[in-house]
Structure 1
Amino acid sequence: MRVRETVAAGLAALLSAALGIGVCGQAQATKVKSVTVTAETNQNTGDSKSVYVLCPTGKHVIDAGGYILGQDGHESQVHVDAVEPSADRTHVYVHASEDADGFTSADGMNLSWRLVGTAVCA
């Protein structure tokens, strides 16, 4: 049994040298502390809203999103339509807008809402 292990190790070393590749040991996981940052607009009846969510200094966007508050059962009338990290990943732009007929109640009143943007930074 010991001879087989030695031969197998020798063959692995020989193949590594011949092919120019290294034999890797066990992978080490590095813990990276992430933080979730949010930013939100004022709640009002505007037909579109946008917000920038900034990562703390030294951290970069690894995930992002957005959601709407204040819809009160009218979920189909306002949509997040853009979530765009910056090229340097230090912040994210989030945009939302009302559908074509606006965000109104059954009796035609304009309803207020707000946009919340989120970024996970590490």
Structure 2
Amino acid sequence: MAHEQLDRMERVQRDSESKQKEGIDMHVLLVMGGGLVLLGVFVLFGWLWGANAAGMALAAKAFVPAWVLMAAANMWVGVTHAGYSAREEFPILLLVFAVPAVVAGIAVWRLSQS
């Protein structure tokens, strides 16, 4: 009886940890997706202001410092409110920042060739 109860508690804990990890993965994907949407908004405003590829490239360049601040704010929330250590959050910061920043770099490169 006690053995069955212990097995049940272990299964519940594993399921809880698995669901928590899935939630973290989904949060990271949502933040990166938000960064890509924000990049699109920046590029759109670059087109509205400049009406040419140079304006769009400039807006993509302006996105990068704005995105690093947003990614750092996401890390701060993870450390202060979600209970993660800065050491745990730093690789997530790099991933969350890097994906939209690389896409912005590719956009600048492609728009500069136009």
Q: Specify if TM > 0.5.
A: no
Q: How would you bin the TM-score normalised by the shorter chain?
A: under 0.3
The structure in which a higher percent of residues are helix is 2
**TM-score, normalised on structure 2?**
0.26
**Structure showing greater relative contact order (alpha-carbon pairs closer than 8 Å, 6 or more residues apart):** 1
Give the structure with the larger strand fraction.
Answer: 1
